[in-house]
């Protein structure tokens, strides 16, 4: 789909780049010629991702960092510059989420999620954005939100995440305009369900629930990590140079299925449709 040097000369920082979708993006973007820097709280997954990139001939380095702490984010960016040079691209992918009845949440539980998703995204964006503006150099930001942010519906049982991701989407659209004059593009990807250890362990309550989720999906399948990584590669590339402030949903049509009043008719068997059609013809 892409030339293998699509992102040559680029230096990309991915938060949460040691696991799941962040790792998948790191491997794909490195394979397209970018230098990668991945950050997260745990060293093990970050080291593994970097080793995998290097084994494939790419350049990668990492640092541990809790994105909720602005000072730690500034230090992490300094470490990135030392290791891989000036960062020109930021993927705000780190997140926290879990299912819970909202009335059972403590304020600290709410804060744990909004701190990672909204504050963390703002911290990385602010720290790098300031540098780019001061140096009069262009930049590129991609924020990973969710389909329930893009639809505007939010979602019950993941209220801290719904609130935080809505904020990240507002940040995306606001800064796309404010920072366009500094040649900084800001876009978002809104994924539907993509199986990852991090998401599935916290959001899929049972195998039965997972089967039901898959069976009721319009495409009868979940997303593949490569599909999301390819979308990220395109949005970050120069080929997407005029796309700014956009949020691309990648969910196989899932949120639209819930929105269309008659979409549940997809479950009606052909035999029932034929009976309805026969009855209509008889009554004409």
Of 95 and 235, which has the nearer Cβ to ligand NAP?
A: 95
Question: Helix crossing, 43-55 with 20-31: angle to 10°?
Answer: 20
Between 142 and 171, how does the x/- string for binding to ligand HXC read (CB under 6 A)? Answer: ----x--------------x----------
Decide: 17 and 248 in contact? Cβ < 8 Å: no
By CB under 6 A, name the one of 55, 103, 106, 282 that touches ligand HXC: 106
Residue 109 touches which of ligand HXC, ligand NAP, none (CB < 5 to 8 A by kind)? ligand HXC
Backbone angles phi, psi at 139, to 5 degrees: -145, 170
| 77-116 residues labelled b (16+ CB within 10 A) or e (exposed) | bebbeebbeebbbbbbbbbbbbebeeeebeeeebebbbbb
Applying CB under 6 A, the span of 53-61, 107-115, 121-129, 262-270 interacting with ligand HXC comes to 107-115
Residue 98 touches which of ligand HXC, ligand NAP, none (CB < 5 to 8 A by kind)? ligand HXC
Residue 27, both tokens: 């491997």
| 209 is known as an active-site residue | no
Name which of residues 66 to 85 contact ligand HXC (CB under 6 A). Answer: none
Residue closest to ligand HXC, measured at CB: 96
Residue closest to ligand NAP, measured at CB: 198
Give the C-alpha separation, 87 to 239, whole Å: 19
Of the residues 148, 194, 222, 255, which is catalytic? 148
Residue among 175, 158, 163, 208 at smallest CA distance from 90 = 175
By CB under 6 A, name the one of 199, 228, 233, 235 that touches ligand HXC: 199
**Residue 142 beta carbon to ligand NAP: minimum distance, rounded to whole angstroms:** 11
Using alpha carbons, list the distances in angstroms from residue 203 to 71, 217, 264: 31, 16, 24
CA neighbours closer than 13 Å in the CB half-sphere of residue 53? 29
**Residue 183 beta carbon to ligand NAP: minimum distance, rounded to whole angstroms:** 25
**Residue 273 beta carbon to ligand NAP: minimum distance, rounded to whole angstroms:** 33
Residue 30 touches which of ligand NAP, ligand HXC, none (CB < 5 to 8 A by kind)? none
**Cα Rg of the chain (Å, integer):** 21
Using alpha carbons, list the distances in angstroms from residue 148 to 154, 233, 243: 5, 23, 22
Q: What are the residues binding ligand HXC (CB under 6 A)?
A: 95-98, 100, 105-106, 108-109, 112-113, 146, 161, 193, 198-199, 202-203
Q: Which residues are catalytic?
A: 148
């Amino acid at each position: 789909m892409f030339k293998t040097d699509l992102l040559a000369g680029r230096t990309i920082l991915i938060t949460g780049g040691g696991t799941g979708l962040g790792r998948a993006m790191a491997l794909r973007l490195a394979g397209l010629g970018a230098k990668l820097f991945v950050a997260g709280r745990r060293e093990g997954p970050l080291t593994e991702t970097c080793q995998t990139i290097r084994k494939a001939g790419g350049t990668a380095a990492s640092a541990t960092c809790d994105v909720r702490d602005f000072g730690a984010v500034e230090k992490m960016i300094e470490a990135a510059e030392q290791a891989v040079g000036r960062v020109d691209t930021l993927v705000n992918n780190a997140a926290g989420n879990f299912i819970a009845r909202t009335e059972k949440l403590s304020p600290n539980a709410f804060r744990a999620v909004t701190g990672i998703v909204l504050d963390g995204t703002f911290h990385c964006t602010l720290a790098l954005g300031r540098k780019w503006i001061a140096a009069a150099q262009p930049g590129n930001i991609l924020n990973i939100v969710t389909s329930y942010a893009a639809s505007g519906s939010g979602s019950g049982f993941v209220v801290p995440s719904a609130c935080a991701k809505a904020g990240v989407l507002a940040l995306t659209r606001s800064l796309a305009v404010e920072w366009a004059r500094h040649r900084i593009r800001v876009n978002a990807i809104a994924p539907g369900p993509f199986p990852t250890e991090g998401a599935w362990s916290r959001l899929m309550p049972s195998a039965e629930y997972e089967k039901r989720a898959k069976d009721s999906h319009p495409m009868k399948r979940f997303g593949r990590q490569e599909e999301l990584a390819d979308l990220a590669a395109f949005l970050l590339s120069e080929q997407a140079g005029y796309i700014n402030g956009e949020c691309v949903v990648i969910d196989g049509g899932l949120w639209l299925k819930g929105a269309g009043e008659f979409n549940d008719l997809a479950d009606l068997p052909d035999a029932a449709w034929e009976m309805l059609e026969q009855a209509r013809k008889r009554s004409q």
